[in-house]
Amino acid sequence: AMLLPLTFTAYASIRDASGPPINLIESDFNLEQTTSFVSWRTENGLDHTAVGSSKGSISIFSFHPTNTPNLDSRARLTITPPSEHNPPTVPSSSPSHSRRHSRSLQSPSSLSFNQVLLNVSARARVVSGVSHEQVEAPKNYVDFEDEPERLKDILRSNSKHKRTLADSILPSFDRGVVIEQSPAPNSPMHLPTLPNSPSGASSTSKNKDDPRLLLPETNSPTFSPGSSSAPPSPRPLSPFDGSPSRGIVKASIILEPCGPGNAPSAMRYIETMDLLVVLQESGNLSAFDMRDSTCVATCGCTTTRSYQDQLWKWESIRMVPAWDQTYLILACASPSQPPFAETFGLADELCDSKARLNLFELSVGDPHGVHPTRFERLASDAWQVDGQATGVELLRNDTDGSFQLVYIDSTNCLVTRCLTIIPAYEIRARGRSSFSAPSQEDNRSLGIPIPFKVFGSKSVESVTLPGQNSDSGADDLGRVRLEEEKSRGTVISSPECLLEGITARYAGLNGRIVGLVWSNTGITVREQEGSFTTFAVPFKSRAEIQGVHFMDDEAFVVLSDTISYYCLQRVDADNNIATTFSGTSIIIQYVAIQTMTISGGPSLMLSWSRSSPYDVFALRQPRSGKKEILVHTINPRQDVSIKQRRRILWRAQSPSSGTIPGGAALTSVLPVELNFVLLGYSDGHIRRTSLPCLLRRSDVLFDKVSDMSLPSSILNMHLVRNDRTGERYILGGTDDGGIAIWALESLKLQARFTPFIVPLMRVAQVLQSNENAGPLRGSLLCVSGDGTIAVVSIEGFEMLYLIPGASSPIAHIYAGGDDNNRAVLIYADGSARVWDVESGEFLRATTEEKAKELVDAGGWINISLDKSELTSVSVSMLSGSAGPVSLCTLLLSLDRFLKYTSVNVKSLGLATSSSSAPSNATLSQLRAVLSVLLTPGLSPDIDEICENRLGISPSLSTVGFASALATTIYHHDHPIQVWSMSAKVSADRVLAIVSVLKTLSLAEELSHDCQTVMTFYSTSLAHVVGVSYQAPDVAYLATQWFNSSNDVRQAAKTLFDAGIVRLSDEESSALVDAWQHHLPCLQPSIEKESAKSSLALFICGYMAAEKYSLLSTSSLIDISKSIALYLHDESSAYRGLAIDLCARGFQIWQHYIDAMAMLRALYTLATNARKETIPAQNIGPQARLAVLQIASSNTPLFMTTLTLDILNPKTLDQRKAVMQLVAFMIRKRPLILYPNLPRLMEAVVKSLDPNSTASRDAVLDSATEIIGHVVKTFPTVDFHMATQRLAVGTSEGAFIMYDLKTATQLYVLEGHKRRPAACTFSPDGRRLVTVSLEEGVVLVWKVGSSFTSFFNPGAPPRQGHGGSLPFKTLNFNVGDEGMLQPNMTITGTLEWVKFEWPAERTVRLHIRESVLTFST
């Protein structure tokens, strides 16, 4: 079903009108605690950030770039001596490539940190010279407000002696290095030599003042120009500006489920795919398309019970590119406490040091929607490592494609394991095989090279699974195979050091691994290049390290209360840059070359991205409570005066709604009906309103308020019903652990208890009719967050029992037993408890399996925790709503809403002026939804129609995009932005608009204006919005056609047809090429009825019907075969689609398949009256419409098939069905049959052959019905009952006489020279009168039996004179009527020409208003 998230902002809080205005988005953002923060820069230069909150929502920000010119990307920085004759510099000839198209998430190993910060080309590796002359280096930026007065004086002084660049960046260098900018020269490329070659030194002099290499030897090997991509040029810096730049909250994403315990704990952005991968604490992994912030894929980290004797918090993800359009994502979890434990002081000390892991394959979908983005879980739930989740890393070696799992165990030792992904087909084959171990050939084919072959291994106990060789030292966990552990030695030696994180990468092409491990005391480097080397990094910080990121193989950035950039150096014993690359005196060290101090307090969160390596984004919340987002930028260019800058990108302008004195914030919502919505507030009151008021009013208006105020906030509400009296009540939970009950209609407080420590979470009701429930009959089971159950009687609202909770949430409740006095509680961790309800005695603890065996023995009832009193079927809340944005968002089921409102509109005949109260309510609901969906401001004329004629006023509420995975709420400043996001969002919005307008147009007085607005939104948006317009996605519209009800389906089909017409030829061909390989006729039997196959036929079929000339013959053949496949399959659920395609493009399909077989199938479906063969979707009317359309467009083939099936049917049922179809055609399309009447009637007559008694009896009724309809409809055919004679006129002027007793043709009467208009038998059957308007003549024929007929069979009776002339020829002329006779159409003939017999031998001819009388 199609869901519309409707967000009403006006009711988020109740406050004094004189108070400050509150922005709901900012209030939500300020109120919630931040759990994750990530930033990135897109190709268009826009910066973006995603901020995850503790309540399960994500805020997406977009920041527009400053209006400053970009640096010349072609400019190169070189280090040159100040002498007159400068040696030539080493230029770079490799072009700059966009990082967007790079398949790797890590920068190429050839890019050193000098290149990143100084923008030196990838191959300019040589220092041209060193000078002793001192030069003045540009000042670094210092924030005057944050630095001591002493630094101010230093910077304000004009001292001639300044610290040089060499002192600032590389302290071990001698002074005298000059940095200057030079354009890229046109001189030939000089490649640096390999590190071990004799010419590796830049000078033969051994003096330490001579030029030396700045970069270590590992950077010397060169790459092809296409193997690396240069980082983007930094933006020019300006002094700090305290005013925020233009930043907007683009969207708010509400995860499913949301609320405490579902916070997004980790997020990673995939540059090349514009995807944001989000991991929730509860274990849900989701991917979001950042073009429109919609969820495109989701997966759970566990398949079995979520707890298994331990609560887990999924807190980190590691991601590496695997294959083309595919990524491997490793999710890590740590032991945790319930969400409420820390808040209410119930947390226990965690002693388990294990981490839980799972591996996923993320396959990115294609742009046409053929292969959607999806996650596939690769590992089983049993995967754990002996270490912390923060100490796990996943690596990929780009050289051989192998994967490596690196982690630090509980003893602070570094452990590595080679990881192999087992193909899915091998897992399936293993399941069918009885062998437990893979063959040697399989091991060879799937083996991954181990880069640490020189070290010993530490064996661990393996988990033996089916299909695993327990002696191999490897573990198979689902599709993940882990090789034997390799211990690499101790990383953290001091027991006081607490591990905080690890990051690692492969460096270069020689399999060298560089890893960084940080703890609460410092950073350690672990490097493997033949042997492991460990050394510490000089780093001091008063705050914890938030992240360490590699910029390339030998440079990284550290994020803490300072932003520090480090570069690897190799120096000799004298602390000089090493000019040789061998020897025992070479020392490896990391040197900080740029440091920037930041401030933000304990709430500070930092983010660095590879797409903008010079920028570090920060999120902080000052004492004012208004959060702000900043960017700290370092400019590596040495020719600028300002090298560092801090800039505020966004700052909240309004405080949190809960901090305003005297105000009340919305805390819970319960939609009962469309016009009955209950809102719970922090002041303890419940207030009643309606959906139209929520969506359309900017001022807060309530229909009713509860009589008493509670001293605490109302966190949730549930609707319950007394099944004995039928009265309904509201049961609410408060934040102090209380329970309150109100009467639904009056909102009067009935009772209040405070039984819990943790607030109420779920409510279950036990009806009086459940006899096995014992003492629980007629009671309410109120379950708190910690599993405590309060049993409340619904009759007197008394507290009956209190059942203590457990460390794990309740999964199932059973009541009954031998004496109906027992309760079995099963928890999420697999444990169970048995209680005596009446005495409150705890009987025993057991397992879930044992408890299920007890319940299966009988005498128990299952008390569902998820089933509550049915509320509105059209409107629902978000699952686990928490926070202002999620609370102010209701999900409207468009299918159910339109079904409900359309019935009311049709039954009551709604109009704008005179209508009853229910009618006005229905119109108000439709207008309220449209006021949110429409985008005023695009066309003044349309706005005038909507507001003045349709009564649709603009609304402050917003609409988002919803799926079963997440809900996205958009925040737009201009209506054009609504239609400029993505094709999918545009399709969803316009589909909702057209669907609701179609329903509103059922009111006759509004129909014309609704059609005008529908036409505008269907066809004119591209012209109004402009080049940024995102046309609706036709694949999405096709999907909604399959998944929606009839009201939405019609709108989807209309928009789909308009969409394929709008596509260019190239776009149309690309769309068909993408989908045609999934047509049903090309799929195996099990896939022919799949959703993808039917969707492929829908898209390709209608595209071919509209633009068949663009498709190849093979494509048209496959489409035709697929239509026939569905049409002939009686069990197919998509026969309706095949029927509609037959009608749309029969003239195309008939060239590639058996057209008669297709027509016969349609005949059968159109006339099938057997109830047992009618499918769920009644396709009979649809088939009859298809037959009419085909008959109109291809009459010859239609009539040929029709007559053949009447004369030579395969079965009697088929003949009967076809004859029923003829009767239907006579009623609906008589003009189609008129030219073929003689042929058709001949077939009908022959079907009554008396020699075939069974056949005659089977079709007698149908033939009689057909003859009756023909005689009644066509004046050129007449039947005489007594003589069983049938006269049929032909277009050539002849009349054929049939005898239905013998089913034979008697003779032919040929007297007219032009088309006859009518004929009639005399009452005694002895005369036949025929008329031709084109000739102006009436002919009278003797047709009675005579003696001469026995001697001349087949000849007409004698007319009283010789030859074949008629008995009488009567000419006529009716004046003006006669002048119109030759021009009278066939339709006019059928309507205006009639015969009447007032006497035995007198006939009257009626032509329009004229009457002629003849004697026969």
Separation CA 488–CA 405 (nearest Å) = 13
pLDDT at 713: 92
Distance of CA 679 to the CA centre of its chain: 30
Residue 908 has pLDDT above 80, yes or no: no
Residue 114 has pLDDT above 70, yes or no: no
Q: How confident is the model at residue 1049 (pLDDT cuts 50, 70, 90)?
A: very high
Q: What is the pLDDT of residues 353-389, one digit of tens each?
A: 788 999 999 999 998 989 999 999 998 888 889 888 8
Q: Which residue has the higher pLDDT, 265 or 566?
A: 265
Residue 1015 has pLDDT above 80, yes or no: yes
pLDDT at 874: 85
Residue 122 has pLDDT above 50, yes or no: no
Burial 267-305 (b: 16+ CB within 10 A, else e): bbbbbbbbbbbbbbbbbbbbbbbbebbbbbbbbebbeee
Q: Which residue has the higher pLDDT, 80 or 982?
A: 982
pLDDT at 17: 57
Separation CA 1241–CA 352 (nearest Å) = 90
Residue 165 has pLDDT above 60, yes or no: no
CA distances from 602 to 563, 606, 620, 659, 975 (A): 16, 12, 8, 21, 39
pLDDT more than 90, % of the chain:
35
- Per residue, the 3-state secondary structure of 377-434, as one string, reads ECCCCCCEECEEEEEEEEEECCCCCCEEEEEEECCCEEEEEEEEECCHHHHHHHHHCC
Per-residue pLDDT, averaged over 488-497, amounts to 76
Separation CA 29–CA 247 (nearest Å) = 14
pLDDT at 299: 92
pLDDT at 1404: 94
Nearest to 9 by CA among 1057, 886, 975, 1137: 886
Q: How confident is the model at residue 897 (pLDDT cuts 50, 70, 90)?
A: very high
What is the SS3 assignment for 1041? helix
Residue 865 has pLDDT above 90, yes or no: no
What is the SS3 assignment for 246? coil
pLDDT at 1351: 62
Separation CA 1062–CA 932 (nearest Å) = 27
And the tokens for 1026?
Answer: 């402009």
Separation CA 862–CA 815 (nearest Å) = 7
Range with the largest mean pLDDT of 308-322, 419-433, 1112-1126, 1169-1183: 1112-1126
Sign of CA dihedral 799, 803, 807, 809: negative
Strand 294-300 and strand 355-363: the pairing is unpaired
pLDDT at 1294: 94
Maximum distance among all Cα pairs of the chain, rounded to whole angstroms: 144
Per-residue pLDDT, averaged over 148-159, amounts to 43
Q: Which residue has the higher pLDDT, 807 or 268?
A: 268
The single residue listed with the structure tokens 């209006």 is: 67
Q: How many CA atoms lie within 13 A of 638 on its CB side?
A: 24
Q: How confident is the model at residue 16 (pLDDT cuts 50, 70, 90)?
A: low
pLDDT at 827: 85
Q: What is the pLDDT of residues 1239-1290, one digit of tens each?
A: 999 999 998 888 888 778 888 888 898 899 999 999 999 999 999 999 999 9
- In sequence order, the β-bridge partners of residue 286 are 278, 298
Q: How many CA atoms lie within 13 A of 680 on its CB side?
A: 27
pLDDT at 734: 93
What is the number of other CB atoms lying within 10 angstroms of the CB of residue 1314? 15
Q: How confident is the model at residue 113 (pLDDT cuts 50, 70, 90)?
A: very low
Per-residue pLDDT, averaged over 1193-1216, amounts to 83
And the tokens for 57?
Answer: 């929502």
And the tokens for 215?
Answer: 């970069």
Separation CA 407–CA 481 (nearest Å) = 16
Per-residue pLDDT, averaged over 535-556, amounts to 81
Q: How confident is the model at residue 279 (pLDDT cuts 50, 70, 90)?
A: very high
pLDDT at 1116: 95
pLDDT at 347: 54
- When mean pLDDT is compared across 65-69, 265-269, 700-704, 1363-1367, the lowest value belongs to 65-69
Separation CA 352–CA 333 (nearest Å) = 12
Q: Which residue has the higher pLDDT, 1088 or 493?
A: 1088
pLDDT at 530: 55
Q: How confident is the model at residue 207 (pLDDT cuts 50, 70, 90)?
A: very low
Residue 1085 has pLDDT above 60, yes or no: yes
Nearest to 191 by CA among 129, 128, 96, 122: 122
Separation CA 947–CA 139 (nearest Å) = 61
Q: How confident is the model at residue 1037 (pLDDT cuts 50, 70, 90)?
A: very high
Range with the largest mean pLDDT of 27-36, 41-50, 1012-1021: 1012-1021
Nearest to 289 by CA among 982, 988, 1036, 878: 982
pLDDT at 1207: 80
pLDDT at 545: 87
pLDDT at 230: 39
Q: Residues 232, 637: contact at Cβ < 8 Å?
A: no
What is the number of other CB atoms lying within 10 angstroms of the CB of residue 782? 24
Q: How confident is the model at residue 1050 (pLDDT cuts 50, 70, 90)?
A: very high
Q: Residues 451, 486: contact at Cβ < 8 Å?
A: no
Per-residue pLDDT, averaged over 1007-1020, amounts to 94
CA distances from 505 to 328, 448, 526 (A): 15, 17, 11
Sign of CA dihedral 333, 334, 335, 337: negative
Q: Report the interhelical angle of 1091-1107 vs 1113-1128 (nearest 10°).
A: 130
Per-residue pLDDT, averaged over 1005-1028, amounts to 93
pLDDT at 1348: 59
Q: How confident is the model at residue 538 (pLDDT cuts 50, 70, 90)?
A: confident
Separation CA 397–CA 328 (nearest Å) = 13
pLDDT at 441: 38
Average pLDDT of the chain, as a whole number? 77
Q: What is the pLDDT of residues 627-678, one digit of tens each?
A: 889 999 887 665 666 677 888 888 887 665 555 556 788 899 999 988 899 9
Prior bond of 257 cis (ω within 30°): yes
Q: Is 231 exposed, middle or buried (0-12, 13-18, 19+ CB in 10 A)?
A: buried
Per-residue pLDDT, averaged over 1337-1363, amounts to 75
- When mean pLDDT is compared across 499-503, 702-706, 974-978, 1207-1211, the lowest value belongs to 1207-1211
Q: For the CA atoms of 196, 198, 199, 204, what is the dihedral angle to 10 degrees? A: 130
- In sequence order, the β-bridge partners of residue 355 are 385
Give the helix/strand (H/E) hosting 1231.
helix 1230-1233
Q: How confident is the model at residue 907 (pLDDT cuts 50, 70, 90)?
A: confident
And the tokens for 816?
Answer: 């009954």
- In terms of phi and psi (left: phi > 0; alpha: psi -120 to 50; beta: otherwise), the region of 566 is beta
Per-residue pLDDT, averaged over 226-240, amounts to 40
Residue 1173 has pLDDT above 50, yes or no: no
Q: How confident is the model at residue 187 (pLDDT cuts 50, 70, 90)?
A: very low
Q: What is the pLDDT of residues 1132-1148, one digit of tens each?
A: 999 999 999 999 999 99
Residue 686 has pLDDT above 80, yes or no: yes
Sign of CA dihedral 1085, 1087, 1088, 1090: positive
